[in-house]
C-alpha cells in the first residue's frame, strides 16, 4: 500500500487543521497516512514513505518555524529519489505580503535537493482553510497521488 507521511508544525492550530484535511483526503484516496508533529520528526522520517508532505506555517519575517528549523536544515541532505513530495503553507497574506508562506517555499527548495519529484504545486493558505482552500487541497491530493 502507498504510504503518505505528513510532517506539520502549528502554533495556533491553522496548519494542524490543514494537515488533518490532508490526512482525511489522502485516506479517502486509499493511502496509508501518518501525520507527524514537528517535534517528533527526525530528518529521515520520509525514508519509508512513498509520498512526503510538509505542512508549515511561516514565522518571524519569512522564516521556517523554530520547531522545524533543524528538520529543514537536515532534509536537503536526505536522499528521497523515487519519492513524491508536496508542500502546503499557511501564512498571513495581509500582514506579511512580501513573505507570505515563505517557509513553504524554503521547504520546496529543500525537497528539490533531495531528488524527490514534486507531485503538485505548493498550496498557500491565508490562515485557516476555507472552502476554496479545501478544494485546492483536494486538487493537491489528487495530483500527488497520481504523480
Ligand atoms: C510573530 C509572527 C510572525 C509571522 N510571520 C509570518 C510571515 O513572515 N509570513 C506569513 O505568511 N505569515 C506569518 N505569520 C502568520 C502565521 O504564519 C499564520 O497566522 C499561520 O496561519 C499560523 O499557523 P498556525 O495556526 O498553524 O500556527 C506570522 C505570525 C506571527 C505570530
Q: Is the CB of 96 under 6 A from ligand 1?
A: yes
Q: Is the CB of 90 under 6 A from ligand 1?
A: yes
CATH of the domain at 13: 3.40.50.360
Q: How wide is the angle at C-alpha 121 spanned by C-alphas 29 and 70, nearest 5°?
A: 95
Chain centroid to CA 134: 15
- pTM exceeds 0.90: yes
Query: What confidence tens digit (pLDDT) does each residue in 40-57 have?
Result: 999 999 999 999 999 999
Residue-range definition of the domain harbouring residue 16: 3-146
Query: What confidence tens digit (pLDDT) does each residue in 71-107 have?
Result: 999 999 999 999 999 999 999 999 999 999 999 999 9
Give how many domains the chain has, as a whole number.
1
Query: What confidence tens digit (pLDDT) does each residue in 11-34 have?
Result: 999 999 999 999 999 999 999 999
Q: Which residues of 94-109 are buried (b: 16+ CB within 10 A; e: fewer)?
A: eebeebbbbbbbbbbe
Amino acid at each position: 500500500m502507498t504510504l503518505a507521511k505528513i510532517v506539520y508544525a502549528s502554533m495556533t492550530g491553522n496548519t494542524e487543521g490543514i494537515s488533518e484535511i490532508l490526512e482525511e483526503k489522502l485516506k479517502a484516496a486509499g493511502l496509508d497516512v501518518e501525520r507527524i508533529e514537528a517535534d517528533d520528526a527526525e530528518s529521515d522520517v520520509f525514508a519509508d514513505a512513498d509520498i512526503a508532505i510538509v505542512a508549515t506555517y511561516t514565522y518571524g519575517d519569512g522564516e521556517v518555524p523554530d520547531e522545524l528549523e533543524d528538520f529543514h536544515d537536515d532534509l536537503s541532505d536526505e536522499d528521497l529519489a523515487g519519492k513524491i513530495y508536496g508542500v502546503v503553507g499557511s501564512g498571513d497574506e495581509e500582514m506579511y505580503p512580501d513573505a507570505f508562506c515563505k517557509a513553504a517555499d524554503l521547504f520546496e527548495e529543500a525537497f528539490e535537493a533531495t531528488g524527490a519529484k514534486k507531485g503538485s504545486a505548493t498550496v498557500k493558505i491565508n490562515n485557516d482553510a476555507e472552502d476554496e482552500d479545501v478544494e485546492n487541497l483536494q486538487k493537491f491530493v489528487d495530483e500527488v497521488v497520481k504523480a
